[in-house]
Amino acid sequence: MSSGHILSLTGTHFVNVRKGNHSPEAIIRSEQVEVGDGMWVIAPNGARIPATVVKTETVTNAEGLFAPVPLTASRIVVDGVEASTWGAFVSFGLFHETLAPTVYASLRAAILRPLFALANVLEGPELMARGVAAIWGDGSGVMSADAALSSACGQECLQASVLLLSLVWFAGVGKKKQAA
């Protein structure tokens, strides 16, 4: 970046960008960032400073995988550069990727917050850490699952599952209304 900062992340992680450094801020996949786009670096005092992307590079193999999922924030600072906490884990055949922050925030509120609360009541932070390690591991299982869901067959299976679950849910709602 023009500031000298370097941000490393997967192509499916989202970042806040001003395309061409002049359009309104938007959240896009990092693989769509281009030279000349505007991003933000964070000064030591917390100020958000504009910077321009001067180089993009694709790395095919890198060590480690980390995807923090904070309970409230939607933006984080990585290596001095502002990034989104959202990545493309859920395949986007079900909804447009611009809806990802809303979908993920809803999932976080409905699933993660109750899980964290339950884990802390039952055993404390250690239980949640073990659960995260079991689910994420080195990240390869999650990335493989996302690749499978992103395939044509995975998309069809996922859409059929959502349709089936919707029908079951609507049938249950109909039975409750008839009983009332």
Each residue's pLDDT tens digit, 132-168: 666 655 556 656 666 666 666 766 776 777 788 778 7
pTM assigned to the model:
0.56
* Cβ 75 vs Cβ 83: under 8 Å: yes
- Locate all alpha helices (DSSP H) within the chain, ordered by sequence: 100-107, 113-122, 125-136, 140-150, 152-179
- In tens, the pLDDT along 61-93 reads 666 556 666 666 667 888 888 888 776 655 555
User: In this predicted model, which residue has the larger pLDDT, 57 or 44?
Assistant: 44
Residues contacting residue 47 through CB under 8 Å, at least 6 positions apart: none
Contact between residue 21 and residue 36 where contact means Cβ atoms under 8 Å apart: yes
Stretch 88-116: mean pLDDT: 66
- The answer on pLDDT for 18 being more than 80 is yes
